[in-house]
A and B are shown apart, each in its own frame.
Chain A
Amino acid sequence: MAIVNKMPIFHGGQWPPADVRLAARIFPERADTADSALDRWVTGWWQGKLRTWYPRQRERIRFRDAVATAAERLQLERWDDDRLRRESRPAANAAFIGKDFASGALALALVREAARRRLGLLAHPPQLLAAWKLLCGHLIEFDTGEGKTLTAALAACLAALAGVPAHVVTVNDYLAQRDAEKMQPLFAFFRLSVGVVHGGVAQGDRASQYARDLTYCTNKDLVFDYLRDRVNAGGINSPAQLAVRRLHQSQRGEERLRLRGLHFAIVDEADSILIDEARTPLILSALSDRGADRDVFEQVLAIAEQLQQDLHFRLLGAQRIPELSKEGRLYLAQLADDYLAAAEFDRRQKALDEFWQLDWVREHYVLQALRAIYVYRRDQHYVVLDGKIVIVDEFTGRLLPDRSWEQGLHQLVEVKEGCAVTGQNRTLARLTYQVFFGRYLRLAGMSGTLREVAAEMAAVYRVPTLRVEPNRPCQRIEWPSLLLRDAEAKHAAIVDEVMRILNEGRAVLIGTRSVMASLAISRALAAAGIVHKVLNALQDEDEASLVARAGQPGAVTVATNMAGRGTDIPLAPAVSARGGLHVVLSEWHESARIDRQLFGRCARQGDPGSCRAIVALDDELVRHYASALANWTALQWPGLPPASAVKLLRRTMQSKAEAANAAQRRATMRQDRQMRRQLAFSGATE
């Protein structure tokens, strides 16, 4: 645990930078800013909207030339490995800490040479520019298939060479493991140790993984490890305090700190981590002592089932939040009176008594039960696997096996599905992504789809966004969207489309929004006798291999929208010759960004490819956000609506959904700030 203070002494500058205000915590991290909403708005506009797309062609060319001249002048090919290693540390130091342009070009030339030798990959100019910008703390919009893995590795390598612990943050376990392994030879060249942290890594190993020079990790594991550290520190605010406590308590059973501080992070798929997942805070919790009482939950559920909608309760708004009416509350009070009168002399069941006696407990649990019955749906919000409730991530469609809902909801859902009832969780700490990533001393990220959220990124994380043009022009062809009347027609159209593509000898990938949708499409395909693979939350073990095979001739793959994200779909030569992979988007997502991510699955790295949206007027999101316009469209064009109408519908639906999500993120953040202010007396806990 001595790692905390083991910071190298730098020659070319100071790390942590002098102009960053550090938080008074156990390890280096940036202090939370208390800027006003106006500040954020102005920064967002300035950095996100006005500066982002300002043409920087000159800088691009200058950097490319600088790297090329550095490589030529020094004749890097002739250097032996030792010399490369020796020279790269000071260059990396000056490049990362001092953000020095010439050193940056030199350092990248050196690392590129190393990558060429060990990985056999020659980074092309856009990748080098992107890596340089990552080092400087930018978000890079980089078209899919442009080699983000290598770019991130180059930047992380330089940061690690500069002696700064670097975190490469990915969206899932597979990617963290794969990227780390793939880039291992490069890091090994520089004698840098690489740590990997994902769901499969035991808690005991994590400290040693984070102690390595650089660490590949998933976003959720990273945040939870940070939270665990914070909880373990328990109000200790500086390394000195920690040392004093050690002295007094002589290490009895104390857990090691995992992280070494929040120095530098490169966030892959930055928009989905920093924006999409930032809607809900992350909560670290422990199983509570109080045993689960199945009887209580069964009774609550039974009562909730008796209640009549619109008489005893209502479901409010798009989120269908249940609310008890006066009648409902009276009815519950009546039931409680009856119960208490009957159970006057039977005081064995303490939990049941508490439930019946206290108005608020009763109403609270009944409301949760209503949620369990009417709001949360099987195969959409959760699946049942091996007699356990497993939550499905709303965005990625992935299973989240170790997550549970709060405040009795999880137990009620378990009772509803007839599963074994687990214990309730007690919150230990909670944190939003906005706050967490804002604490990095330097934050960088990449994604194929950032332009829509540049302003929000600048406002919330104070990171500018830049677009780096691809090396090879994209050959994707987007076919006109089809907007159909209902799900049935949509499925028929998808089957038609698949048949047509298969006849051409190509491969098809069908993206769906939820597990349920993927099952429905799978049924339709099966009915038409089409052999296909389904890739959804229910079987995500061989995800990568399934995705890897999706480029074979005649392959039909149905996948929830982000399954296997980050994995290239290699095209068989036969497929490539006939027009590549065809992607079918079966339902518009909440933002055009996610649609583009799905379309990005085809036509990567200059491959050919095509895509098309085949959607229906009764898709869930359309119904939610643009039902009036959908009805009008249906009336106006009984057949296929024209492209302009389809576009209008999509724009309307997505802008409304985006606005609602943005509002929710703002609300999360505001609530967080407000609570932090209000609960200042409780100490600097999370």
Chain B
Amino acid sequence: MDAGLVNADSTLGSQLVNSHWYRVAGLAPRLRDTLRIHSQYWRRQLWYVVEDRINARYHRFDRQAYRIIRLLDGRTTLQQLWLRLAAEAGEHLPSQEEILSLLGQLHSLDLLATDTLPDLAELAGRGRSQTWRKRAASYFNPLAIRIPLFDPDRFLQRAAQRLAPVLSWRGAAIWLVCVLPALVLAASHWRELTNNFGERVMALDNLLMLAVLFPLVKILHELGHGLACKLGGGEVHDLGIMLLLFLPVPYLEASSSWTFPDKRARMLVGAAGMLVEVWLAALAFYLWFWLEPGMAKALAYDVTVLASVTTVLFNANPLLRYDGYYIASDALEIPNLAQRAGRWWSYLFERHLLGRRYAESPAQAPGEAFWFTLYSPLSFLYRTFVMFSIAVFVAGQYFAVGVLIAVWSVAASVALPLWRALGWLARNVSAGGIDSRPRRVILALAAGLGLFLFALPLPHHTQVDGVLWLPDSAVVRAGQTGFAERVLAISDSDLQPGETILELADSGLAAELAAQTARTEAAQVRYDAARLEDPAAGERYAAELRREQKALAHLAERDARLAVKSASGGRLWLSQSEDMPGRHFRQGDVLGYVIPPAPPRVRIIVDQSDEALIREHTRSVRVKLPFAVDSLWPATILRSVPAASNELPSAALGRSGGGEIATDPRDDSGRRALTSHFEYELGLPDDFPYRLIGSRVSVRFEHPLEPVGKRIWRGLRRLFLAHFHS
């Protein structure tokens, strides 16, 4: 052999040429025999679906990849193949690396056959790592531990034949007839349906029921897919169980629909499961509607909820990778939407930030870029949001499980992609040499993020609810039950303290008073007479007299209270001054207010966790009225109660009064909070408008500027501390 030696330099060679090419240049691989290739148009671009008939797997390739794949005939060596591609005028020339990576991909998908003996050690290693990766993927993705059960193809075939008369426009009509009235009815019974939803659904016995019902509902869903797939001429060979949050859920492999040339047929397959479920939900809703309360009604309720809520929340949503996603991908005619959207973003990053002008856009057809730009962040946010909502919802009922789900979902939807992205960035940093642009950009971004999180001070505030509050002396109450007789003061006039506002009349009281006066006088007479005659007997009458006098004094006091007086000076506001005369008031009824010249105060209650921040780090306080959102009023802290208490100053702050704070449902007043709070009293400026005393206001405490990272850290710490301490 005439061999020379080459000094290799890993920086050598342009993008097109790969230094490992020699290993494959002489190989002539071909596609395996059992493959069938279907072509489809997506946005007027050709795509190819490779059907692997042995494994019943389907792989989609774009035209560029297919240009290479079509040349894999077992006779053309890769070197020839590359030269032929290079000679094709006006076409993009794939780099050797791209070809190698495509071939590697084909090999790992078991689509490739070569005449050489493959690297057995690598094959075994790949087998192991694939199994591991699959398992890891299924652990990190709670939706993917699959256990195949049986081949439903023949069953579905027969079912499709039997149901042929219904699987047409007639079926659609029946579906509409069932579902539309249910929708209307559901809207009118919305309160009944949704009242106390969380507790009803998450009660332990109900959870068990749901666990039983869920697979049953989903089996119908999957059969829906299967039928639609058969209807379009596809094959369905795999029905089984996958574990979703440890809950067994049936799945059905209907990816042969990928080969359907008509996108509507593909969309129907995607939608069929949901159609079945919505229909089922409608039927169950009717049952729930007609049934008397009991076990059966609860069951019907559960089926309704399962078949409608889960469908709308998960399946229908294109932002999660369920049915809705595939429907959307077909409808938009963007194959592999999610992966390519991800690639689009990394392309944007590489091209614009790292300045790699060779970076290749994954967008191939006009309009795709728009959807890519939109899809990735939306789906990321939504996925995170759904995961967190589920976690919070569950944590409300079962804390440990909720936290577990939260940790799991954070790991799967945030940490794992973040880890991958970091790895990618790290490779970029280390690949480019000491002062390459990628390195600089990434380090700058990291520094920027670090500065933003931990150095850049940002406005920071805490918002709490408060209630506008007046001293008791400002409230004008009926001191005694009676009919209004005369209104002495007019509304909106200024009063002095002690001025009479209103006179009440109580004929019963008047009569009683008269009778008692007579009785007292009689007792007086009796006493006077007796004293003169016999001082000893006089003593006996004296006791009687005192008793009668006391009763009279009591009545007189009640009578005096009929005159309603202002306890403090200020401006009078009477609620219904015109039609007051003749009306009956009970003792304690609020008739109006004498509003003092000083402004009202705001009483707020502050959660223990916010207390320290408010007490120690408040720059200013602003009050906002619910009916005048635009204007902010400055306030000052006048008083704080140094001890925590469960008592709310007003029911308006509690949840039963429409506020934010959870109150004890056993307490009728609605003023007993479940957790203890600190109370503060705030003073308002003099020009504060005086209306709606007792109304809720929102109070905003402005804290010193603080970086976001510190706040997140504190919030997290508090979240866990709060839970373990209470």
Contacts and interface: CB of A to CB of B under 8 A. Distances in A.
B434 interface: yes
Interface of B: 1-14, 16-17, 19-24, 27, 29, 86-87, 93, 100-101, 103-104, 106-107, 112, 114, 116-123, 125-126, 129, 357, 427, 430-437
A283 B103 contact: no
Contact of A359 (B24, B93, B122): B93
A318 B433 contact: yes
A279 to B, nearest CB: 8
Interface in A596-640: 624-625
Most buried by A among B6, B11, B86: B6
A681 interface: yes
Contacts of B129: 34
Contact of B10 (A368, A402, A668): A668
A427 B122 contact: no
Contacts of A316: 436-437
A622 to B, nearest CB: 13
Contacts of A359: 93
A429 B20 CA distance: 9
A648 B3 CA distance: 47
B20 A684 contact: no
A623 B437 CA distance: 18
A47 B3 CA distance: 39
Nearest to B113: A681
A670 B426 CA distance: 13
Interface residues on A, range: 35 or more
Interface of A: 23-24, 31-32, 34, 220, 224, 228, 231-232, 235, 237, 255, 279-287, 316-319, 321, 326, 358-361, 363-364, 367-368, 371, 391, 400, 402-407, 409, 425-430, 624-625, 656, 659-660, 663-664, 666-668, 670-671, 675-686
B207 to A, nearest CB: 39
A684 B435 contact: no
B5 A284 contact: yes
Contact of A427 (B10, B19, B118): B19
Given A31-B121, A681-B29, A683-B118, A406 B13 contact: yes
A531 B550 CA distance: 136
5 contacts: A34-B125, A321-B11, A360-B14, A667-B430, A671-B10
Given A358-B86, A680-B122, A680-B126, A428 B3 contact: yes
Contact of B122 (A317, A358, A684): A684
B104 A679 contact: yes
A499 B655 CA distance: 94
Nearest to A357: B87
A287 B2 contact: yes
A502 B484 CA distance: 126
A409 B13 CA distance: 9
Most buried by A among B3, B10, B126, B129: B3
Contacts, number: 188
A24 B120 contact: yes
A285 B3 contact: yes
A428 B6 CA distance: 10
A409 B5 contact: no
Contacts of A681: 24, 27, 29, 103-104, 106-107, 112, 114, 118
B135 to A, nearest CB: 15
A363 B14 contact: yes
Given A286-B3, A400-B5, 10 more contacts: A235-B116, A237-B120, A364-B16, A403-B4, A406-B6, A406-B7, A625-B434, A681-B112, A682-B114, A684-B121
Nearest to B89: A357
Contact of B4 (A31, A425, A430, A678): A425
A668 B9 CA distance: 10
B104 A285 contact: no
Contacts of A656: 434
Contacts of A364: 14, 16-17
Most buried by B among A318, A664, A668, A678: A678
Contacts of A678: 100-101, 103-104, 107
Contacts of A232: 1
A430 B434 contact: no
A439 B159 CA distance: 60
A406 B20 CA distance: 12
A405 B5 CA distance: 9
A667 B431 contact: yes
A285 B118 contact: no
Contacts of B116: 235, 682-683
Contact of A404 (B4, B27, B86, B106): B4
A360 B93 contact: yes
A406 B433 contact: no
Given A24-B120, A677-B126, A680-B123, A286 B4 contact: yes
A686 B19 CA distance: 12
A521 to B, nearest CB: 26
B676 to A, nearest CB: 47
A321 B129 CA distance: 36
Contact of A402 (B4, B14, B20, B22): B4
Contact of A677 (B86, B122, B430): B122
Most buried by B among A224, A659, A663: A663
B14 A367 contact: yes
Contact of A660 (B6, B21, B114, B434): B434
Contacts of B21: 427
B5 A224 contact: yes
The 5 closest A-B pairs by CB, nearest first: A678-B104, A427-B22, A683-B116, A684-B119, A681-B107
A283 B5 contact: yes
B23 to A, nearest CB: 5
Nearest to B439: A317
Contacts of A686: 23
Contacts of A286: 1-4
Contacts of B5: 220, 224, 282-285, 400, 402-404
Contact of A680 (B13, B119, B431): B119
Nearest to B12: A406
B23 A285 contact: no
A318 B11 CA distance: 12
B24 A287 contact: no
Contacts of B6: 283-285, 403-406, 425, 427
A253 to B, nearest CB: 10
Contact of B7 (A237, A404, A625): A404
Contacts of A676: 119, 122
Nearest to A625: B434
Contacts of B117: 235, 237, 683-684
Nearest to A279: B10
A318 B437 CA distance: 11
A476 B551 CA distance: 118
Contacts of A228: 1, 3
Given A678-B100, A679-B104, A391 B433 contact: no
A55 to B, nearest CB: 35
A231 B2 CA distance: 12
A523 to B, nearest CB: 29
B121 A319 contact: no
Contacts of A391: 7
A407 B10 contact: no
Contact of A664 (B10, B14, B112, B114): B10
Given A237-B120, A317-B435, A426 B125 contact: no
Nearest to B436: A317
B475 to A, nearest CB: 71
Contact of B1 (A255, A358, A403, A680): A255
Given A318-B435, A409-B12, A287 B4 contact: yes
A407 B6 CA distance: 10
Given A407-B17, A684-B119, A231 B1 contact: yes
A685 B5 CA distance: 18
Contacts of A403: 4-7
A420 B2 CA distance: 19
B242 to A, nearest CB: 28
